């Protein structure tokens, strides 16, 4: 009798919708990826931007292979990651294509400055990061883009923009951090202080 084999749970196929629904419970920080220069610009809202390594400073973002920004990232070899503040839901919605906005139209209504290689960076982002494309790895429906950080500008605003269960949330440092501190265990505080 093979006890080990008997204890291995039978793998079942996870349906894409089931996975999508499960991932709604993961809180995502909202950023806008920007690409291009001059009038040839585009951008998109993402929750997949994340730090890869601090030395060298690198980040990753997962971009749908059909997204209009991806060919620009390849063409110009550069992109921006604009970490949105709690007051920038309108920017997030424009760059998610709300109202059918495309390309340069999405940039209206906010102040943009030219970063490295001319890539547009949002002046009032919590942090605006300029990256050079280090590598693009295509996997399934998405491209994993690795960016080498070459520029950082920070405004350190009081609230960040998050996305959770299909809704935007403002995470406010003073209010939410002090509320969390009340329920934190002393050991977990020590780990992060």
Ligand X SMILES: Cc1cc2nc3c(=O)[nH]c(=O)nc-3n(C[C@H](O)[C@H](O)[C@H](O)COP(=O)(O)O)c2cc1C
Contact 160, 86 (CB under 8 A): yes
Least Cα distance to 163 among 99, 86, 109, 101 occurs for 86
Least Cα distance to 34 among 75, 77, 81, 68 occurs for 81
78 binds ligand X (CB under 6 A): no
Distance (Å, rounded) from C-alpha 64 to C-alpha 80? 17
- How many residues bind ligand X (CB under 6 A)? The answer is 16
Interface stretch with ligand X, choices 3-11, 41-49, 81-89, 114-122 (CB under 6 A) = 41-49
63 binds ligand X (CB under 6 A): yes
Query: Which of 35, 41, 46, 121 touches ligand X (CB under 6 A)?
Result: 46
Query: DSSP label at 117?
Result: G
35 binds ligand X (CB under 6 A): no
91 binds ligand X (CB under 6 A): no
Which H/E stretch holds residue 5? helix 3-7
50 binds ligand X (CB under 6 A): no
Closer Cβ to ligand X, 19 or 188, answer by number:
19
CA angle centred on 72, ends 153 and 36, rounded to 5°: 45
Query: Which of 58, 68, 104, 132 touches ligand X (CB under 6 A)?
Result: 68
Provide Rg for the chain, Cα atoms: 19
Distance (Å, rounded) from C-alpha 23 to C-alpha 136? 24
CB of 187 to ligand X, least distance (A): 33
82 binds ligand X (CB under 6 A): no
Q: Which of residues 118-157 bind ligand X (CB under 6 A)?
A: none
| Interacting residue ranges for ligand X, rule: CB under 6 A | 30, 42, 44-48, 62-64, 67-69, 96-97, 163
């Amino acid at each position: 009798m093979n006890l080990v084999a008997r204890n291995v749970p039978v793998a079942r196929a996870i349906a894409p919708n089931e996975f999508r629904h499960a991932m709604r419970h993961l809180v995502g920080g909202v950023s806008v990826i920007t690409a291009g220069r001059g009038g040839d610009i585009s951008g998109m809202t993402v929750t997949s931007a994340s730090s890869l390594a601090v030395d060298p400073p690198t980040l990753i973002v997962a971009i749908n292979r059909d997204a209009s920004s991806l060919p620009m990232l390849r063409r110009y070899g550069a992109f921006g990651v604009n970490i949105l503040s709690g007051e920038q839901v309108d920017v997030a919605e424009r760059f998610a294509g709300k109202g059918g906005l495309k390309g340069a139209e999405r940039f209206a209504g906010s102040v943009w400055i030219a970063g490295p290689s001319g890539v547009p960076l949002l002046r009032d982002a919590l942090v605006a990061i300029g990256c050079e494309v280090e590598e693009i790895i295509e996997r399934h429906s998405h491209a994993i883009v690795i960016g080498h950080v070459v520029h950082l500008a920070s405004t350190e605003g009081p609230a960040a923009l998050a996305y959770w269960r299909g809704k935007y949330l403002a995470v406010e440092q003073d209010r939410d951090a002090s509320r969390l501190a009340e329920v934190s265990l002393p050991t977990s505080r020590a780990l992060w202080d």
